[in-house]
Amino acid sequence: MGFPDFTDLRRIAAELTGNKEFDKLRKLIEQVWRVQSCITDLRQSADCCDALTTLLISPRQKQSASRATTENSLLMSGVMFYARATGTSGQLGERGSIKLDDKKLTTEQRIDHKNLLEIRNRAFAHVYRESPIASNLWHDDMVFAVDLADQGWKPAVSSSRISFHVLTFQRLLRQIPVADEFMTRIFHKRMNAMMVTMNDGSIPLEIFLRFRFDPIDKFHGVKAVELILAGIPVGHASFTTHGP
C-alpha cells in the first residue's frame, strides 16, 4: 500500500534558522520534540516497573545473585528514566528535562518526587559514603582490621549496597502517572500550537517536500508506519524496534 508523505520538521526548523518570520515555529518544533522525548523516558520507566512487578511475583531464582541483580537493574533504570525526564539539568547540547510544577503537586507527590531525584543523584548516579539518602544508608563501606592473635592484625574491606528498595519502587509506581499526565497536557498544548502555526500557509511547500523521508526505512518496517498512522487520531503510537 502507498503511504502519505512524511517530512522532517526538525530539519525544516534548522533550515529556517535565522528567519525571524519563523521563530515561533522553530521554537515550537523544539519544544514538542523535548516534551515528547521526556514522555518516552517516562513510558520506559513504566515498562521497567511492569517488568519488575512481574519479576517480584515469580518464584524463580529467589535469593540468588542473578535475581537480585535483575531487580536492582530494573529499579535503577526506572528511577534513572524518571529523573532524566523530570528533574535532571541539561548542559549545552543535552536535551534536559521538563521539570514538574511543584505548585501543582500534593505534599505527598512533592516528597515522592524529591526522594526519587535524590536517590538518582546520590545513590545510583554517584556514591556518597556514609550519607543517608531518602532516610536510608545506600552505600556502607568499611576498611577494618581483624586481630588474628599470633598472625597479627589483618586488614579487610567490606561494601554493603541496597539491592532492591521497596519504598523507592512504590514511589516510582505512584509518581510516574502524575508526571505522565502533567507532560501529556503540555505536549498536546504545544502540538496544537505547532499545528496552527505550521498550517498558516507561510512556509513554502518546497521546504516541506525537500525534507521528505522514507518512513518504512526510518521506522524499520511497514507495520511501524501503519501504527504511526493509526495513532494520529488519538495523538500517540507505541512500538518497539531492535538496533543493528
Domain ranges of the chain: 7-128+163-203
Q: Which residue has the higher pLDDT, 63 or 234?
A: 63
The stretches of 120-221 forming alpha helices (DSSP H) are 166-198, 205-210, 215-218
Residue of 33, 35, 29 lying closest to 180 (CA atoms): 35
Q: What is the pTM of this model?
A: 0.85
Check if the beta carbon of residue 106 is closer than 8 Å to that of residue 174: no
Reading the block at residue 203, the C-alpha cell is 512556509
Give the closest residue to 162 by CA, choosing from 181, 195, 135, 185.
135
Average pLDDT on 153-179 reads 93
Query: Between 135 and 115, where is the model more confident?
Result: 115
Instruction: State the pLDDT at residue 214.
Output: 94
pLDDT at site 133: 75
Residues 83-102: b if buried by 16+ CB within 10 A, e if exposed = bbbbbbeeeeeeeebbebee
Predicted confidence band of residue 159 (pLDDT cuts 50, 70, 90): confident
Q: What pLDDT digit, counting tens, does each position of 230-240 carry?
A: 887 766 666 66
Helix/strand/coil for 142: strand
Per the prediction, the chain carries an average pLDDT of 88
185-217 pLDDT per residue, tens: 999 999 999 889 888 767 888 888 999 999 999
> Looking at residue 125, what is its pLDDT?
85
The single residue listed with the C-alpha cell 518526587 is 113
Per-residue confidence (pLDDT) for residue 81, from 0 to 100: 97
pLDDT of residue 200: 78
pLDDT for 36 equals: 92
- The DSSP result for 23-87, as a single string, is HHHHHHHHHHHHHHHHHHHHHHHHHHHHHHHHHHT--TTTTSHHHHHHHHHHHHHHHHHHHHHHT
Give the cell for residue 220: 524499520
Mean pLDDT, to the nearest integer, of 164-168? Answer: 91
Sequence length of the chain is 244
Q: For the segment 66-100, what is each residue's pLDDT rounded down to a tens digit? A: 999 999 999 999 999 999 999 877 677 788 899 99
Give the helix/strand (H/E) hosting 147: strand 139-147
Helical axes 65-86 vs 23-56, angle rounded to 10°: 160
Tell me how far apart the alpha carbons of residues 95 and 227 are, in angstroms, rounded to a whole number.
Answer: 26
Mean pLDDT for the stretch of residues 30-54: 94
